[in-house]
Chain A
Amino acid sequence: MQIILNNNQEEIPGDLITVAELLKFKNFTFKMLITKINGVLVQKSDYESAAIRDGDVVNVLHLISGG
């Protein structure tokens, strides 16, 4: 399936992937994240269950310390 991940077109195997699986697949190892599917926040506690499907727009923001 095709998704838009952080403004880039991505080919993802299968027709459904959870947020947790996507982070692993993309090797996103940052601990602190804000993730949105089609503009809606996915709470961290829902990463294992939140499903991403073909055509979804996914944004993963990496949070780093400093301020």
Chain B
Amino acid sequence: MNTFEIAFRLKNKIVGIAGCGGLGSNCAVALARVGVGTLIIADFDIISEANLNRQYYFFDQIGFKKVFMLKENIGRINPKIKVITLDVRLLPVNIPSVFAGCDVIVEAFDLADQKEMLLESLQINLPEIPVVAGLGMAGWGMNNIIHHRKMDNIHICGDEISEICPDLPPLAPRVGIVANMQANTVLELLLNKEQK
């Protein structure tokens, strides 16, 4: 499949991204670059200086809402991508309606309890939609333990052991690896399904 065929297949696809931090912003940009037609991005947070060590934002965007700045950044990369922004806190009450029309959903939250809430809500309400979760990407080095595996329709990307803490912060290289691994898994799901 050449680049144009890939873009043709992807332009009608819809990918939901829950969280626009380190995983979500980098994953969204990768999906926009390859031409996934519609991205639904949800986050309620604003950009802080501490985010810039890994998240796809710029110094002059500090203080602005992540969803709106991510839409702006994606627009500068590929203005043909439709970006639907949701400046909301995702909760069990709104998760099903936000992501109901998606082909694939990316779990890009920060905290474990939020990941649990999202995955549980998706498995109850939208169990037919594959989810790509990021689990374990704090620190540096340790390339060889980052992996992908499948648990039913939940795809897990990460090392599954490196939890963030003050001595093991999330940093651009490993977060970027996992975010791009999630985007790569999304592509695999979208393109392979289409080929059948």
Interface residues of chain A, those whose CB is within 8 Å of chain B, are 31-34, 36, 39, 41, 43-44, 59, 61-67
Contacts and interface: CB of A to CB of B under 8 A. Distances in A.
Interface residues of B, number: 35
B115 A32 contact: yes
B61 interface: no
Contact of A64 (B152, B154, B160, B175): B160
Contacts of A67: 19, 21-24, 108-110, 115, 134, 137, 170, 175
Nearest to A62: B160
Nearest to A43: B120
Interface stretch (B1-9, B30-38, B73-81, B161-169): B161-169
Given A34-B123, A41-B123, A64 B163 contact: yes
Interface of B: 19, 21-24, 108-113, 115-116, 119-120, 123-124, 127, 134-138, 151-152, 154, 156, 158, 160-164, 170, 175
Q: Which of A33, A36, A61, A67 has the most chain B CB atoms inside 10 A of its CB?
A: A67
Contacts of B120: 34, 41, 43-44
Contact of B124 (A43, A59, A62): A43
A50 to B, nearest CB: 13
B96 to A, nearest CB: 14
25 contacts: A32-B115, A33-B116, A34-B116, A34-B119, A34-B123, A34-B151, A36-B151, A36-B152, A41-B120, A59-B152, A61-B154, A62-B160, A63-B113, A64-B136, A64-B162, A65-B110, A65-B112, A65-B115, A66-B135, A66-B162, A67-B21, A67-B23, A67-B115, A67-B170, A67-B175
